[in-house]
Amino acid sequence: MPQSSTPKMSARNVNVFYGEKQAIQNVSIDVDTDNVTAFIGPSGCGKSTFLRTLNRMNDTVASARVEGEITLDGENIYSSGMDVVQLRARVGMVFQKPNPFPKSIYDNIAYGPRIHGLASAKADLDVIVESSLRRAGLWDEVKDRLKDSGTALSGGQQQRLCIGRAIAVEPEVILMDEPCSALDPIATAKIEELIHELRGRYAIVIVTHNMQQAARVSQRTAFFHLGTLVEYGSTSEIFTNPREDRTKDYITGRYG
């Protein structure tokens, strides 16, 4: 379903296989910067698999094979000329389980900008660290303990640190795979608030099992089932007036 604004990323006829087994079948979708896109669907339907095709994270799985075309600003990310390290800076990822590096809070944020050469002087790096932590909604909580280990933070703080780490390299797209599933309701609310604030600056795609969360944070929702994209549309339409029976059954809790 093409959208009116120019999509940040487009997938066309994407198939993903793990060995002989097909996990994603013929998925085409556009995501843009103005909207947060939620991927929903029952466990095992391929949400994570498809999400990982968007920054070639499946490259790290030996048995995985991706067919079809995925573009970022019109450029095929699977072309031989694509620098995968650069791609993953442009299309950042936040995982289900917060995974800060076993380094200081400061170095967690500074790591990416350093290796990508975004800052040479310490003062420039300080600016990036502060602005990234501010945008991740974590600065006030950590500004006096930047030398403490990132792993010493609470789970919710760690997840915001990971979002800050993704932001620090000035990505264009942020992929989040169930970023709140290990967090309590207060930490979850903070991440959701953060997603609201980041919307418009980055294209954001979030996988969630929580229907209320999808309804709260996203403007567009994609429903996956058995490796296919069943329905993709405005979140309010998907939740109030889905076109497909399978979507209706899932959102009303009849299966999944």
Ligand X SMILES: Nc1ncnc2c1ncn2[C@@H]1O[C@H](COP(=O)(O)OP(=O)(O)OP(=O)(O)O)[C@@H](O)[C@H]1O
* Residues in contact with ligand X by the rule CB under 6 A: 18, 23, 41, 43-49, 61, 63
Q: Nearer to Mg ion by C-beta: 23 or 110? A: 23
Q: Does 247 bind Mg ion (CB under 5 A)?
A: no
Q: Nearer to ligand X by C-beta: 181 or 219? A: 181
Q: Does 188 bind Mg ion (CB under 5 A)?
A: no
CA-CA-CA-CA torsion for 222, 198, 49, 169, nearest 10 degrees?
A: 150
**CB of 21: closest distance to ligand X in angstroms?**
6
Q: Nearer to ligand X by C-beta: 169 or 251? A: 251
Instruction: Kindly tell me the burial class for residue 111, based on how many C-beta atoms sit within 10 Å of its own C-beta (0-12, 13-18, 19 or more).
Output: middle
220-225/228-234 β-pairing: antiparallel
| Residue 55 contact among Mg ion, ligand X, none, beta carbon within 5 to 8 Å by kind | none
Q: Nearer to ligand X by C-beta: 96 or 219? A: 96
Q: Nearer to ligand X by C-beta: 48 or 108? A: 48
Q: Which sign, positive or negative, has the C-alpha torsion 118, 124, 127, 129? A: positive
| Residue 58 contact among ligand X, Mg ion, none, beta carbon within 5 to 8 Å by kind | none
| Residue 18 contact among Mg ion, ligand X, none, beta carbon within 5 to 8 Å by kind | ligand X
**CB of 60: closest distance to ligand X in angstroms?**
9
Q: Does 33 bind Mg ion (CB under 5 A)?
A: no
CA separation for the pair 67, 65 (Å, rounded): 7
Q: Does 208 bind Mg ion (CB under 5 A)?
A: no
Which phi and psi angles does 24 have, rounded to 5°?
Answer: -135, 130
Q: Does 48 bind Mg ion (CB under 5 A)?
A: yes
| Residue 127 contact among ligand X, Mg ion, none, beta carbon within 5 to 8 Å by kind | none
Q: Nearer to ligand X by C-beta: 43 or 80? A: 43
Instruction: Kindly tell me the burial class for residue 199, based on how many C-beta atoms sit within 10 Å of its own C-beta (0-12, 13-18, 19 or more).
Output: middle
Please work out, in degrees rounded to the nearest 5, the angle formed at the alpha carbon of residue 6 by the alpha carbons of 168 and 239. 85
**CB of 64: closest distance to Mg ion in angstroms?**
14
User: 């969630």: which residue's tokens?
Assistant: 208
User: Cα dist. 21→93, 227, 239 in Å?
Assistant: 25, 11, 31
Site size for Mg ion (CB under 5 A): 1
CA separation for the pair 45, 35 (Å, rounded): 23
Judged by the rule CB under 5 A, the positions of this chain that interact with Mg ion are 48
